[in-house]
Structure 1
Amino acid sequence: MPSASNSRRKFIRNSSVAAASFFIVPRHVLGKGFVAPSDKLNVAGIGAGGKGQSDIAEFFKTGKVNIVALCDVDDRASATSRKNFPKANYYKDFREMLEKEKNNIDAVSISTPDHTHANATLAAMQLGKHVYTQKPLTHDIYEARLLTDAAKRYKVVTQMGNQGGSGDGVRKAKELFDAGLIGEVHTVHAWTNRPVWPQGIPTPTGNHEVPKELNWDLWLGPAKYIDYNPAYVPFNWRGWWAFGTGALGDMACHIMDPVFRLLPIDYPNSVECSVVNSWKNFFVEGNFVDSCPPASIIHLNYPRKDGKGNIKVSWYDGGLLPQRPDELLPEEAFGNWDGGALFIGTKGKMLVDCYGDNPRLLPTKLMKETTLPQPSIARVPEGHYAQWVNACIAGYGKATTSSPFEFAGPFTESILIGNLAIRSWMLVNPKMKGWGDKYMGRKTLLWDARNMRITNFEEANQFVKLDRRPGWELSL
C-alpha cells in the first residue's frame, strides 16, 4: 500500500501535468476560429515603417500571429510599429536580428526599398524561415532567379506582396477567359498612372547631415556608397535606379498579374521601348541616367508555352495610354485611377482594373447579355496576408499561396526585363536622338531567358545582375 507521502507526490505530479496541458491547448480543443497561443506564428518584420508598418498590422489582425521582432534602419519610420508592439525586440540591422532571434521566429515579413529585398529575403530563407516579401520581389533579374531557386532549396512558404493575386477579380477574369468568351488572346495593353514621385530629374547634390535616427550605411545596403540626401528617403527612392524600379516595378506586379495568371506565358524572347527622359528638360543635351524616366512604353513579345505562336504585351506609364477600344462607350471608365489591362482575343476583348478587379467583357452590355461561367476557381476569402499566415502554420507543402516565388520569381524577372530595356535605351541615347548614330530608331533586344542574357546588345547585360558592395554578396 503506498504511503501518504508517495500518494501526495503522485497527486502533485499528475496535477502538474494536467496544468501544463491546460496551457498548451490543442487547436481542435479550442474549436474553429480559435488559435492556441502555442500555435501562433512568430513573425519578425524587416522594414517597420510605411508599407512595412501596414503589412505587420495586417498579419497581426489575423489573430494568429505574434510580432516578436522588428527591424528598421530609421527610428522615425519605425516609431508607430514599435509603439504598437512594445514587447517586440527592435534592431536596425536585419542580419543581427536574424542571428539573435533565429530560435524565436517562424516567419519574416520583408518590406524595405527594392534594392535590399533579396538580401533580407535570402538570409531569412537560409535559416528556414517562411517569407513574405513586398513587390517587386527583387531589384534585378538575377536576384529574382536566385530567390526562385532558393525557395525550392530551402522549402519554406513564400508569398510576394501583390495582394490582387488573391482577389476575386483575377479569378473571375480567369473563368471568363477559360470559358472561351474572348477566344485566344494575342495582344495585351497594360498601364498605370505612376510615377507619383519625382522621376526624370538630375542627380541630387549638396551636403546634408544624416538624421541621427537613420543608419545611412545600412539603408544603402548593397548599393554603391553615396552621400546622404533627403531626395532619397523616406519614399522617393522608388524613382532612382540604385534603389528602386520605377513605375514599372511599383505597379506592374499589380496590373500585369492577371496577364501571367490567364495566359500560357512565362519569359519574353524580345523587348523594345520608347522613353520620355524628362518632361522639363526634354531639349537639354544629355539625360538623367540615375533617375527612372517620367514616362515610358515597353513592348514585350512572349512565345506561348504551348507553341501556338506569340502574345504581345505592351506597358504604358507616366500618363501614356493605349488607344481606347471602340467597344468602350465614351463615358465608361478605361481601367481605374491606378491603371488597368486590356486583353484582345480572336473573339472579343476583356478589360480589368488594377489588381485584376472588375473584369468585364467589351462591350460591357455583354456582361448582361452573355451566359457567364459559374465560379469554378477557389476564392481566397481570408485575403492575401492571412492566406500566407495559414500556410506557414500548416507547414511547407501543406497549403498553397497565391504568389509563391515559383510564380512571383519568373513574373518579376519578366517585369524587370522591361527596365533593362529602358536603362539600355538611356545608356545609348545621351542626346535623345533615337538609338544614336549606331542604333537609329527603336532597337529590339533579344532575350535568352535560360541564360539570362541579351544576345544582340552586350551593353544591356550589365543590368541583369547589378553590382553589390562588398559584404552584401548573394549566394545559395
Structure 2
Amino acid sequence: MKQDSKKQSRRDFISTAGLAVAGVTIVPRHVLGGKGFIAPSDKLLVAGVGVGGKGRSDLKNFYDSGKAEIAYLCDVDDRMAKESRERFPKAKYYHDWRELFDKESKNFDAVSVSTPDHNHAIIAMNAMQLRKHVYVQKPMTHDIYEARKLTEAAEKYKVVTQMGNQGASGDGVRQLREWFDAGIIGDVHTVYTWTNRPVWPQGIPWPAQSPAVPKELDWDLWLGTAPYKEYVDGLIPGSWRGWWDYGTGALGDLGCHLLEAPFSVLDLKYPTDVQATVGSVYTAFGERGYFEDSCPPSGYAILTFPKTSKTQGEVKLHWMDGGIKPMRPDELEPDEIMGDGNSGILFIGTKGKMMASEYAANPRLIPVSKTKEVTVPQRYERVKGGADGHYAQWVEGAIAGYGNAKLSAPFELSGPLTETVLMANLAIRVADIPQPRPNGKGFMYPGSNKLMKWDSGNMRITNYEAANQFVKREYRKGWGQL
C-alpha cells in the first residue's frame, strides 16, 4: 500500500521549510547534554515488522546500541510477539504493517523486517517508498526479481539499508580478504560452501489436515503475498522455511551467511550459469517421490562467475546442503574439523587454501599450522563489536543518513548476493521437477544438472524456459506487485 506521494512531498516540504527558518536558533540537544548524551530526538525510531524469533533479537540489538528506540511493533501472531511487547511496553502494537505504515509513518524513521521470506520484499519496498531506512533479515527477498527491485529502490529513495547477515561485519571475512590480497593462496578458481541444514522437514507432502486457526494468529495476514491455503500446524515458528511458497530452504537460511565471504573476498557480482542436482525421496514401492510444495531434502548447485578485478579467470562456486560436503583437503590433518563441523567455506587457490566456519568465523589457512606462521598487514577496518556490531552499524548509518557511513551489507552488495543464492535455488527447484518419459514408463528429470545460462541484465535463463517461472512470482490478489 503506497503512501500518497503528493501528501508525502508536501509534508516533507513544510517540515524542511520550517527547519530552515528556525534552524539558526536551534542548538542540538547532544551539545547541551555534554559528552555521551544522546537526546531522544537524536535516536533512530524503529518500527519492527515481525517481532518474534529473529525479529525479537534484532530489535533488542538495535535498542542495545544505545542509539535506537523501538517505537512500533507489528506481528500477525500474538504468541510470537509476546516477548517483544513485554520488553518494549511503550511501543504501540499493530497486526497489519499496512495499517502501521498508513497511520504512523510520520512517527518513525526506519523499519526492521523479520517476517517469513515471502513477505520481505513487499514490506521493505513500501517502507523505502516512504523514505524509511530498512534492515531486512536474510535472505533479502524470496525471488530474484524482488532482490533486483529492492536494490534499485535503495538507490532511488536514498535510504540506508542492511541485510541481516551479520557475518559480513565480522573480523573473519576481513582476515580472509587480507590473506587473499597478500597473495598467500594465489589465484582462487574454486570455492566450496556447505551446511548440514535443513534441520526442519523437507521433501514431504503438504499436510492433509486443516485444523482450526489459533485465536492469536491472523492467518490471512501471515500468508500475505503467498497463494491462499488452509491453515496447517507446524509452519510456525520455523518449518515454513521448507515450503517454496514461504521459504527458500537451506540456501535461504544459510546461503547469505556462507556465500558472503566469497563475494567479499573475490568481488563477485552475478553468475553466468548454474546447474544443480537434488537428493531424492523414495516411496515404499521404490518410486521417486516429488512434492512440488516442499524443498528437496538436499541439494548441490554449481555457479560460474566471470573474471573479476581480483581473479585471473572464472570462479566456480559450489553450494552443498543436507549434509553433503566436499572432500577433505589433503593438507588438513585427520582430526581437524572441516569448517565448524556443520557448515563451512573453503577457498582453493593456485598456491594454497583457506577455510572458515559459518559467518566466516574462525578463518584459517591450510595446513592450519600455517595460520599462526603467516602475518600480513591489516588493510580493512574492523567493525566495532564484530558480527554483533552489525546492528549498531545500521543504526548509526541511518542516523548519519544515506551516503554518509559505510555499511557491511547494504543492498548494493546484498542484492547481487541474494540473487545468487536464489539463482542456486532456482536450479535446485528445476532439478526436482519430473516429466513423463516418452514411452510412458516412469519419469525423467531434464532440469537435473542442466547447465542453465543466465542473462543477468534481463533476469532470464536463456536456454531453458521452464526455469524462468521461478524468477518472479505473482502475488496474491490484493497485495499488489513490486
Shared fold, TM over 0.5: yes
Within the candidate set 271, 284, 288, 2:274 is matched to: 271
Shift of residue 25, structure 1, vs aligned partner: 5.5
Helix, strand or coil at the partner of 1:368:
helix
Corresponding position of 1:255: 258
Shift of residue 132, structure 1, vs aligned partner: 0.3
* Worse overlay, 436-445 or 317-326: 436-445
Kept in 2, the 8 Å contact 1:170–1:357? The answer is yes
The alignment status of 1:98 with 2:101, answered yes or no, reads yes
Shift of residue 229, structure 1, vs aligned partner: 0.4
Corresponding position of 1:322: 326
The alignment status of 1:115 with 2:122, answered yes or no, reads no
**Aligned equivalents of 1:223 and 1:349: distance in 2?**
43
Which residues in structure 2 correspond to 1:334-353 (within 5 Å)?
A: 334-353=338-357
Shift of residue 471, structure 1, vs aligned partner: 2.0
What RMSD in Å do the two structures reach over aligned CA positions? 2.0
Shift of residue 277, structure 1, vs aligned partner: 2.9
Which residues in structure 2 correspond to 1:76-475 (within 5 Å)?
A: 76-278=79-281, 283-306=286-309, 308-370=312-374, 372-382=375-385, 383-428=389-434, 437=444, 439=446, 442-475=449-482
Corresponding position of 1:16: none
Instruction: Mark the runs of 5 or more structure 1 residues left unpaired by the alignment.
Output: 1-19
Helix, strand or coil at the partner of 2:78:
coil
Compared with structure 1, are the counterparts of its residues 112 and 41 closer, same or farther at alpha carbon in structure 2 (3 Å cutoff)?
same
Kept in 2, the 8 Å contact 1:70–1:91? The answer is yes
Compared with structure 1, are the counterparts of its residues 287 and 252 closer, same or farther at alpha carbon in structure 2 (3 Å cutoff)?
same
Shift of residue 37, structure 1, vs aligned partner: 1.6
The alignment status of 1:54 with 2:57, answered yes or no, reads yes
Shift of residue 423, structure 1, vs aligned partner: 1.2
Corresponding position of 2:5: none
Compared with structure 1, are the counterparts of its residues 331 and 156 closer, same or farther at alpha carbon in structure 2 (3 Å cutoff)?
same
Kept in 1, the 8 Å contact 2:435–2:445? The answer is no
**Aligned equivalents of 2:175 and 2:36: distance in 1?**
28
Compared with structure 1, are the counterparts of its residues 105 and 338 closer, same or farther at alpha carbon in structure 2 (3 Å cutoff)?
farther
**Aligned equivalents of 1:352 and 1:403: distance in 2?**
19
Shift of residue 333, structure 1, vs aligned partner: 1.1
Compared with structure 1, are the counterparts of its residues 32 and 161 closer, same or farther at alpha carbon in structure 2 (3 Å cutoff)?
farther
Percent sequence identity over aligned pairs:
55
**Aligned equivalents of 2:450 and 2:302: distance in 1?**
11
Shift of residue 170, structure 1, vs aligned partner: 0.5
Whichever residue aligns with residue 245 of structure 1, its letter is: T
Whichever residue aligns with residue 67 of structure 1, its letter is: I
Query: Any idea what the Cα deviations from partners look like across 1:220-278, whole Å, max 9, x if unmatched?
Result: 00100000001322210000000000001100111111000011321111111110132
Kept in 1, the 8 Å contact 2:282–2:289? The answer is no
Whichever residue aligns with residue 168 of structure 1, its letter is: D
Compared with structure 1, are the counterparts of its residues 345 and 82 closer, same or farther at alpha carbon in structure 2 (3 Å cutoff)?
same
**Aligned equivalents of 2:217 and 2:112: distance in 1?**
21
**Aligned equivalents of 1:338 and 1:394: distance in 2?**
38
Shift of residue 337, structure 1, vs aligned partner: 3.8
Compared with structure 1, are the counterparts of its residues 51 and 279 closer, same or farther at alpha carbon in structure 2 (3 Å cutoff)?
farther
**Aligned equivalents of 1:181 and 1:189: distance in 2?**
18
**Aligned equivalents of 1:375 and 1:114: distance in 2?**
36
Shift of residue 281, structure 1, vs aligned partner: 6.6
Kept in 1, the 8 Å contact 2:281–2:288? The answer is no
Shift of residue 32, structure 1, vs aligned partner: 4.3
Shift of residue 59, structure 1, vs aligned partner: 0.7
Whichever residue aligns with residue 270 of structure 1, its letter is: D
Compared with structure 1, are the counterparts of its residues 288 and 141 closer, same or farther at alpha carbon in structure 2 (3 Å cutoff)?
same
Helix, strand or coil at the partner of 2:241:
helix
Kept in 2, the 8 Å contact 1:25–1:38? The answer is no
Compared with structure 1, are the counterparts of its residues 308 and 179 closer, same or farther at alpha carbon in structure 2 (3 Å cutoff)?
closer
**Aligned equivalents of 2:312 and 2:354: distance in 1?**
21
Kept in 1, the 8 Å contact 2:227–2:475? The answer is yes
Compared with structure 1, are the counterparts of its residues 105 and 451 closer, same or farther at alpha carbon in structure 2 (3 Å cutoff)?
same
**Aligned equivalents of 1:283 and 1:27: distance in 2?**
71
Compared with structure 1, are the counterparts of its residues 436 and 28 closer, same or farther at alpha carbon in structure 2 (3 Å cutoff)?
farther
Query: Any idea what the Cα deviations from partners look like across 1:300-340, whole Å, max 9, x if unmatched?
Result: 11112348421001011111100010000011111014411
**Aligned equivalents of 1:381 and 1:369: distance in 2?**
26
**Aligned equivalents of 2:371 and 2:445: distance in 1?**
51
Query: Any idea what the Cα deviations from partners look like across 1:430-475, whole Å, max 9, x if unmatched?
Result: 79xxx95583962111111111101111011000001211222233
**Aligned equivalents of 1:326 and 1:58: distance in 2?**
41
Whichever residue aligns with residue 474 of structure 1, its letter is: Q
Helix, strand or coil at the partner of 2:276:
strand
Kept in 1, the 8 Å contact 2:96–2:221? The answer is yes
Whichever residue aligns with residue 352 of structure 2, its letter is: G
Q: Which has the larger radius of gyration?
A: 1
Whichever residue aligns with residue 410 of structure 2, its letter is: P
Shift of residue 202, structure 1, vs aligned partner: 1.0
**Aligned equivalents of 1:260 and 1:279: distance in 2?**
36
* Worse overlay, 286-295 or 38-47: 286-295
Helix, strand or coil at the partner of 1:304:
coil
Whichever residue aligns with residue 363 of structure 1, its letter is: P
**Aligned equivalents of 2:420 and 2:285: distance in 1?**
29
Helix, strand or coil at the partner of 1:136:
coil
**Aligned equivalents of 1:176 and 1:30: distance in 2?**
45
Kept in 1, the 8 Å contact 2:277–2:432? The answer is no
**Aligned equivalents of 1:264 and 1:131: distance in 2?**
24
**Aligned equivalents of 1:150 and 1:194: distance in 2?**
32
Instruction: Mark the runs of 5 or more structure 2 residues left unpaired by the alignment.
Output: 1-24
